[in-house]
Chains A and B, each alone.
Chain A
Amino acid sequence: MTDIAATAAPSTETATLPARLAKGFVNRLVIIIPYLWLLFFFLIPFIIVFKISLSQTAISMPPYTPVLDFSDGISGFLAGFRELNFDNYTWLTQDALYFNAYVTSLIIAAISTMLTLIVGYPIAYGMARAPATIRPTLLMLVILPFWTSFLIRVYAWIGILKPEGLLNQLLMSLHIISQPLVILNTYTAIFIGIVYSYLPFMVLPLYSSLEKMDYSLVEAAEDLGCPPIGAFWKITFPLSLPGVVAGCLLVFIPAVGEFVIPDLLGGSQTLMIGKTLWNEFFSNRDWPVSSAVAVILLLVLTIPIMFFQQAQAKAQEQGR
């Protein structure tokens, strides 16, 4: 690499052939290494999930019958297509439990995304309007909880929401309630958990689009007699829409498949698909059915994930 011809070359265009070949090789390596890694550890696993979702449960290790194996050669592989069965999928549609789990997950994720937006918007707005000198500190304070463990933050709420927990103690000592409220192990606890855990994901994109906004537009509208609330809905909110969309996607997509929050705060009475998949896998040891649950969950999430990817690509374009 450091031969005199290469180093003395005035520009890369006129670099010697070995140097150019080396550059091409390095370029290709930069792309190929992460590409292959993601292909092998991200994409191929999904194909395996799909394959196993078409197999039968068996009492063996691994607990499923082999399908589409290349061990019998190509003809065996093609013969395997005829033996494929979609029993796991028909079973998912027949058992109301799974359908309900998907629907409630989507509804819970949608409601908690709305709640996160309602809680997060004033915070992001306040931060964007704060004096420029303290903005970095505020930003840091929003990011900091994200660095502490997700599990710990969810766990902290158990002690607060329990019937004999801190919230009930406080409310009862203030004589606001006489009986402890039952919050833990209800959907309310799940909403609180999701809003709390995902708040930074909502606030950060909102903040970045609100901070970029030209505030003189609002001042102009108010000078022309528009009431502050009208100016907010006509100017501020529409201009912050990219942030709203990004924040909502960042909260909604992971919330649909959330496991830790419904498991620890929702108890056994609440139903969410991430928990169903987990139980199917770890308690019932039914790998094919949990694979089918995962495939359908992925299909349900395809549309929002594609929106997310597009938003990311757009942000990348603008950044350049």
Chain B
Amino acid sequence: MNSTWSRFNITSIVLGFAFLYLPIVLLIVFSFNESKLVTVWGGFSTKWYVSLFHNQGLMDATWVTARVGVISATVATVLGTLAAITLTRYTRFRGRVLFSGMVFAPLVMPEVITGLSLLLLFVAVGLDRGFFTVTLAHITFTMCFVAVVVQSRLVSFDRSLEEAAMDLGAPPVKTFFQITLPVILPAIISGWMLAFTLSLDDLVIASFSSGPGATTLPMKIYSQVRLGVTPEINAACTILIAVVAVGVIIASIANKRREIQRQLDEQAAQRG
């Protein structure tokens, strides 16, 4: 199909990727700017990174964000995986329509509505807003993303493997942990990473559900951005991008390795 990959197609891809990446590249470049003016180049410098590490408020917010992210992503992965299993395996039970609605709707629900509704719930049940409530809020909206990711893997899963295990006498729980879980593990891991980055990224829901003492990094960045663009924020953003990029690269390398290993295993099995 090489002949159909015309000049038009190549141009549109190049322009499209330039549009997607140029703003991020410029942001990173200007975080190393000597000048305080963000858009005027004044020479290379790493002084904004140094001042970043002396900014106690920013450091505290980073720590809060990291903890919220790890805890909420972990719980959301468990809940999301259960929801995905429910969606693919149990095709008929009472309230299934409502259930799938509750899983899919948060994916497109405007964040202001989700945030406001969760806040009003926390007030209604008398929970003090803070670290705990942000975590609960993040679990709720990220578990639906995990569910969709895991579900897409479960749909293509060969169920005869499970049936074989159960025919050989393995109880269902054991079958799940020894057969199903290893097969869908890559999807669960990418679901966890998606949940973690969504939590890391969220401004709106965190602003509604957080309280004093639990300012997350996006909330901190947002309040500084409103005062003006500074190279220090650029530096903070660059570090965030770097952390996520390293994570994604490690995950994709691990994925590739597993894939190659699996192919080798299959070839070995075929050779007998």
Contact = CB atoms under 8 A, between A and B. Distances in A.
Interface of A: 1-2, 6-12, 15, 19, 22-23, 26-27, 30-31, 33-35, 37-39, 41-46, 48-49, 52, 62, 119-120, 122-123, 125-127, 129-132, 138, 140-142, 144-145, 147-153, 155-160, 162, 164-166, 169, 196, 199-200, 203, 215, 249-250, 253-254, 256-260, 264, 274, 277-278, 281-282, 287, 290-291, 294, 297-298, 301, 305, 308-309, 312-313, 316, 319-320
At the interface, is chain A mostly helix, strand, loop or mixed?
A: helix
B229 A49 contact: no
B234 to A, nearest CB: 8
Interface centre among B169, B207, B222, B240 (most CB of A within 10 A): B169
B204 A62 contact: no
A210 B117 CA distance: 38
Contacts of B139: 37, 41
B86 A30 contact: yes
Interface of B: 1-2, 4-6, 8-10, 12-13, 16-17, 19-21, 23-24, 26-27, 30, 38-39, 79-80, 82-83, 85-90, 93, 95, 98-113, 116-118, 120-121, 123-124, 136-137, 139-140, 143, 147, 151-152, 155-156, 166-167, 169-174, 197, 200-201, 203-204, 207-208, 218, 221-222, 225-226, 229, 233, 237, 240-241, 244-245, 248, 252
Contacts of A10: 167, 169
- Which residue of B6, B95, B99, B201 has the most chain A CB atoms within 10 A of its CB atom? B201
B12 A49 contact: no
A193 B222 CA distance: 16
29 contacts: A9-B169, A10-B169, A15-B171, A23-B172, A31-B82, A33-B82, A38-B99, A42-B140, A45-B120, A62-B123, A123-B12, A123-B17, A125-B9, A140-B252, A142-B20, A147-B248, A150-B201, A155-B233, A156-B26, A159-B39, A164-B39, A199-B19, A264-B225, A278-B204, A281-B116, A294-B117, A308-B107, A312-B100, A316-B155
A130 B9 contact: yes
Contacts of B109: 253-254, 257, 305
Given A7-B169, A123-B16, A145-B24, 20 more contacts: A31-B99, A45-B120, A123-B13, A125-B12, A126-B12, A148-B24, A149-B237, A155-B233, A156-B24, A156-B27, A159-B27, A159-B39, A160-B26, A258-B110, A260-B203, A264-B225, A274-B110, A277-B116, A297-B113, A305-B105
B241 to A, nearest CB: 5
Q: Which of A42, A313, A320 has the most chain B CB atoms inside 10 A of its CB?
A: A42
A190 B105 CA distance: 25
B6 to A, nearest CB: 8
A26 B173 contact: yes
Given A48-B117, A155-B225, A250-B108, A31 B86 contact: yes
A140 B17 CA distance: 11
Contacts of B207: 282
Given A35-B95, A130-B5, A308-B108, A7 B171 contact: yes
Contacts of A129: 1, 4-6, 9
Given A26-B172, A319-B155, A141 B108 contact: no
B91 to A, nearest CB: 9
Nearest to A149: B201
B187 to A, nearest CB: 13
Contacts of B6: 129
A256 B244 contact: no
Residue among B20, B79, B98 with most chain A CB within 10 A: B20
Nearest to A203: B16
A34 B117 contact: no
A33 B12 contact: no
Given A148-B244, A159-B27, A260-B203, A316 B151 contact: yes
Contacts of A48: 117, 120-121, 124
Contacts of A259: 110-112, 204
A147 B197 contact: yes
Given A126-B13, A215-B1, A319-B152, A41 B121 contact: yes
B11 to A, nearest CB: 8
A145 B108 contact: no
A126 B241 contact: no
Given A7-B170, A10-B169, A119 B110 contact: no
A131 B1 contact: yes
Nearest to A23: B172
Contacts of A6: 169, 171
